[in-house]
Amino acid sequence: MIVLGIESSCDETAAAVLADGRRVLSNVVASQDAIHAPYGGVVPELASRRHLEVIVPVVRKALAAASLGLTDLDGVAVTQGPGLVGSLLVGCAVAKSLAYVHALPLVGVNHLEGHIYASFLTDDPPEHPFLALVVSGGHTALYHARAPLTYALVGQTRDDAAGEAFDKVAKLLGLGFPGGPVIERTAVEGDPKAITFPLAQMSDGGADFSFSGVKTSVSLHVKRRGPLGRAEIADIAASFQATVVKMLVRKTVKAALHHGIKRIVLTGGVAANGPLRAGLEAAAIEHGLRLHVPPRHLCTDNAAMITAAGSARLAAGERASLNLNAAPDLPLAS
Ligand code: KG4
Ligand code: ZN
């Protein structure tokens, strides 16, 4: 089964072609970072306009890279949500048009399920049941994947997403956008123990996350110190990153042990972070858990992951009608 997948939920315009849901024949990502960087964050109106400009060339490029044409396809998958409505609409309109004109089965994919499916595009896919930590710019949540295509929400952030905290702290430190990669690079020269930022403690001891406290502490620290030198910025970046990693690792391992789940999947844009990958790996080994982490380029937004999830849903017989609509708040589980 050859499936074309389209992703346009935020600021990446992406298309991919997969064979049998696992073999990536092509995976094209057009980043809009340069467009949004001057604003220090994604500007929704600019994002949807850019998607409109590049989506058809991106789809063409994905087909060409796979040496296939539209008539070779067996299905079309598209991110339905969650995400920015104007951005999602572009992908949905193109996917529906292709499905209609070429009489192809269509399926809508939850972007977060896409992130989880990135872990199936490796030589070591996870077996069910597993616990998935999805950490991105818009979401930070733990899902219990009991069986294929079945998810239960275990915990989620009560305020900012982890990636959002990286982006806001990078802006505070004058490091640019997107914040995650530049904080990781800056932190290499810093001391992660230089400053103690607070670890959010949930009063009910639950599996939820909170990142607004650490973000506010960084902001107060920066205000108190006045103009910062390079070494100080590196120390703040390293200490902030270490705090976020510690919170994510602790909650995830605790939830896995509490629910008796032996396998963990780490995915989403923030899963590209080296110290997070290393920290969760070390904690998993310590507690006898198996960790599955997709390669970095499949952790950040891409269409291969959407196509993988869409292929699984098409194979299970799922079909969307041509009434498929963008769903900016689409939940994966409740
Ligand atoms: O999954 P993603 O590409 O888009 C969303 O679905 O949101 O995640 C983007 C987020 C951004 O906040 C970005 O700063 C963060 O992932 N990110 C990172 C790294 N690379 C991307 N955060 C920490 N370390 C990284 N290396
Ligand atoms: Zn994402």
Same domain, 287 and 169: yes
Cβ(301) – ligand 1 distance below 6 Å: yes
Q: What's the rounded Cα separation, in Å, for the pair 58 and 56?
A: 5
Same domain, 138 and 285: yes
Cβ(306) – ligand 1 distance below 6 Å: no
Cβ(180) – ligand 1 distance below 6 Å: yes
Domain for residue 324, yes or no?
A: no
Domain for residue 220, yes or no?
A: yes
Closest atom, ligand 1, to C-alpha of 11: 4
Domain of 239, in residue numbers: 127-293
Q: How many domains does the chain have?
A: 2
Domain for residue 284, yes or no?
A: yes
- pLDDT tens-place values along the chain, 334 residues long: 999 999 999 999 999 999 999 999 999 999 999 999 999 899 999 999 999 999 999 999 999 999 999 999 999 999 999 999 999 999 999 999 999 999 999 999 999 999 999 999 999 999 999 999 999 999 999 999 999 999 999 999 999 999 999 999 999 999 999 999 999 999 999 999 999 998 887 777 789 999 999 999 999 999 999 899 999 999 999 999 999 999 999 999 999 999 999 999 999 999 999 999 999 999 999 999 999 999 999 999 999 999 999 999 999 999 999 999 999 999 999 7
Closest atom, ligand 1, to C-alpha of 163: 12
Domain for residue 248, yes or no?
A: yes
Tokens of 23: 């073999």
Cβ(151) – ligand 1 distance below 6 Å: no
Angle at 84 between CA 270 and CA 14, to 5 degrees: 65
CB-based neighbours (< 5 A) of ligand 2, an ion: 136, 301
Same domain, 307 and 247: no
Tokens of 249: 């690792």
Cβ(268) – ligand 1 distance below 6 Å: yes
Same domain, 59 and 170: no
Same domain, 99 and 132: no
Q: How far is CA 102 from CA 93, 95, 96, 106, in A?
A: 14, 11, 10, 11
CATH of the domain at 16: 3.30.420.40
Same domain, 77 and 201: no
Would you tell me the crossing angle of helices 179-187 and 230-259 to the nearest 10 degrees? 110
Could you say which DSSP state residue 125 is in? P
Same domain, 108 and 140: no
Cβ(273) – ligand 1 distance below 6 Å: yes
Domain for residue 332, yes or no?
A: no
Residue nearest to atom 14 of ligand 1 (CA): 180
Closest CA to 269 of 157, 136, 121: 136
Best of 166, 215, 299 for a ligand 1 pocket test (most atoms within 8 Å of beta carbon): 166
Residue nearest to atom 10 of ligand 1 (CA): 137
Q: Contact 267/133 with Cβ under 8 angstroms?
A: yes
Q: What's the rounded Cα separation, in Å, for the pair 291 and 276?
A: 12
Q: What's the rounded Cα separation, in Å, for the pair 76 and 6?
A: 8
Domain for residue 322, yes or no?
A: no
Same domain, 68 and 159: no
Q: Contact 149/308 with Cβ under 8 angstroms?
A: no
Q: For residue 152, what is the enclosing H or E element?
A: strand 150-156
Same domain, 133 and 280: yes
Same domain, 165 and 99: no
Same domain, 244 and 302: no
Closest CA to 76 of 99, 51, 54: 99
Q: What's the rounded Cα separation, in Å, for the pair 13 and 28?
A: 8
Domain for residue 321, yes or no?
A: no
Q: Is 147 helix (H, G, I), strand (E, B) or coil?
A: strand
Same domain, 224 and 144: yes
State the distance from the centre of ligand 2 to the C-alpha of 287, rounded, in angstroms: 28
Q: Contact 130/305 with Cβ under 8 angstroms?
A: no
